[in-house]
Amino acid sequence: MMDWIEQWREVIETWFSSGFRTLSTAASVAWGIFMLVVLLAAGKGLENNLRYQYRDDAMNSLWLYPGVTSRPYKGLNKGRQVITENADYDWLETQDQVIHATGRNSSRSMSVRFGARTGMFSMRASHPEHQYTENTQVISGRFINDLDLEQRRKVVVIGKPVVEFLFLNGEEPIGQQLTIAGSSWKVVGVFDDDGSSRETNMFYLPLSTAQVVFGAGERIDQLMFTVPAELDAEAGEALETRMRKDLGERLRFDPEDPRALRVRNNLVSFAEVQAVFTQVRVFTWAVGLGTLLAGVVGVSNIMLISVQERTRELGLRKALGATPTSLVVMILREAVGLTLLAGCTGLGLGVLVVASLQKWMPENDYLRDPSVDAQAVLIATALVVLAGALAGWFPARRAAAIPPVEALRG
């Protein structure tokens, strides 16, 4: 125990004997670890924010928006409105790889009244499967079901802001009658959504009922569906191409016409976002490790200088019986101790800064919940210590190889 204490006391004395040089080298290593921790946290914050932007919709979904043709097709002029109808929804449900299919009609706002309270809220009319494409969360009652569509029931599912606006006295909304655009509808459910307030400041109606009440006939504004979660971006692109081709034949438009059918392919979009995540991680590690490398080079330099300055001391130690191995261990102890101390200091400061950001940083559109993978940072710190050992190894071998007579003469 005493030998161990004496060895480390000697290391500390060596550090203090070249104070500024040791301090600057340790600071460069600590700064490298600190920057790596902060950059990793910032990268994670960016990734969390990008994922947050996509939280609203199912990532394994495709959305089809019929538009206006911009190319002639089989004798038909351009400028023709492409219209999807109930029959197209029925066809979509039978297609391979389609799991949850829904149609949707929307309006910007409609008058909704309960008692003396009247407000303007957006309307969506859909099939029951719509809640899977929008990640809609029913928090009370139920969502639209198949029986509602079959019997064209006048039922409504309302968002939390609608409840808060209409039911001021704490009334239970389920079972209440609302007047929507002049007709009465029964509330059967209340929903929430992880998206923006725009996604909850609305109400849902059965599509078949809304088509009759609002005179839409068989028309559907949008078709949406989910696919198996294991499909990758390449399979998503192939499915999109197939949908364009098949719907082009059904609805008589050129499948290559981008304006006739707009497709929102979340499989492809999310794959692109994940590619951005990968690039951010690579950039973060590249910058962080580059900074660390500069610190390790500094450790190597200071050990080379230390060995050169202590040539006579090392020769005297060998003349008094010190073995080459003991000299190597002594030099390595200095290098590893310095990098370990500096690395832990940088790690602690980095974690402290990240924790402060998590606690005090206001909500923003860039970083969300920045955090650090503890395992990754500890591995990085261990690598720095290993690099410090390697940085000290070569000067140590050089010191051990010097003949005592030459060292004492030098």
Confirm whether 62 is domain-assigned. no
**Residues contacting residue 65 through CB under 8 Å, at least 6 positions apart:** 221, 222, 261, 262, 263, 264
Confirm whether 114 is domain-assigned. yes
Residues 283 and 375 in one domain: yes
Are β-strands 155-159 and 202-206 bridged in parallel, bridged antiparallel, or unpaired?
antiparallel
pLDDT of residue 72: 92
Instruction: For residues 367 and 48, give the distance between their C-alpha atoms in angstroms, rounded to a whole number.
Output: 7
DSSP string, 180-192: ETTEEEEEEEEEE
**Residues contacting residue 343 through CB under 8 Å, at least 6 positions apart:** 29, 30, 33, 381, 384, 385
pLDDT of residue 36: 82
pLDDT of residue 278: 82
Q: How many domains is the chain partitioned into structurally?
A: 3
pLDDT of residue 2: 45
Residue 233: strand, helix, or coil: helix
Confirm whether 264 is domain-assigned. no
Residues 293 and 380 in one domain: yes
Residues 108 and 220 in one domain: yes
Contact 296, 361 (CB under 8 A): no
**Residues contacting residue 254 through CB under 8 Å, at least 6 positions apart:** 69, 71, 72, 73, 248, 260
Residues 283 and 392 in one domain: yes
Residues 199 and 341 in one domain: no
Confirm whether 400 is domain-assigned. yes
Structure tokens at 229: 């979660």
Confirm whether 60 is domain-assigned. no
Instruction: For residues 389 and 85, give the distance between their C-alpha atoms in angstroms, rounded to a whole number.
Output: 71
Helix axes 324-360, 311-319, angle to 10 degrees: 130
Asked which of 206, 226, 246 is the last residue of a domain, the reply is: 226
If one counts every other C-beta atom within 10 angstroms of the C-beta of residue 93, the result is: 15
Confirm whether 300 is domain-assigned. yes
Query: pTM for the complete prediction?
Result: 0.68
Residues 300 and 404 in one domain: yes
Confirm whether 250 is domain-assigned. yes
Domain span at 136:
103-226
Residues 167 and 19 in one domain: no
Length, in residues, of the chain: 410
Residues 221 and 231 in one domain: no
Residues 122 and 153 in one domain: yes
Instruction: For residues 310 and 318, give the distance between their C-alpha atoms in angstroms, rounded to a whole number.
Output: 12
Instruction: Give me the residues of the chain with pLDDT under 50, please.
Output: 1-2
Tell me the CA distances in angstroms from 196 to 51, 54, 124, 127, one per residue in order: 14, 11, 16, 22
Task: Give the angle subtended at the CA of 156 by the CAs of 154 and 157, to the nearest 5°.
Answer: 160
Residues 73 and 44 in one domain: no
Instruction: For residues 154 and 178, give the distance between their C-alpha atoms in angstroms, rounded to a whole number.
Output: 10
DSSP string, 114-167: ETTEEEEEEEEEE-TTHHHHTT-EEEEE----HHHHHTT--EEEEEHHHHHHH-
Confirm whether 59 is domain-assigned. no
Instruction: For residues 73 and 319, give the distance between their C-alpha atoms in angstroms, rounded to a whole number.
Output: 96
Contact 285, 126 (CB under 8 A): no
Residues 216 and 237 in one domain: no
Instruction: Identify the burial level of 351 via C-beta atoms within 10 angstroms of its C-beta, where 0-12 means exposed, 13-18 middle and 19 or more buried.
Output: middle
Residue 85: strand, helix, or coil: strand
Matching residue, tokens 């059918």: 261
pLDDT, tens digit, 9 for 90 and up, residues 123-148: 999 999 999 888 888 999 999 999 99
Residues 189 and 231 in one domain: no
Instruction: For residues 272 and 347, give the distance between their C-alpha atoms in angstroms, rounded to a whole number.
Output: 32
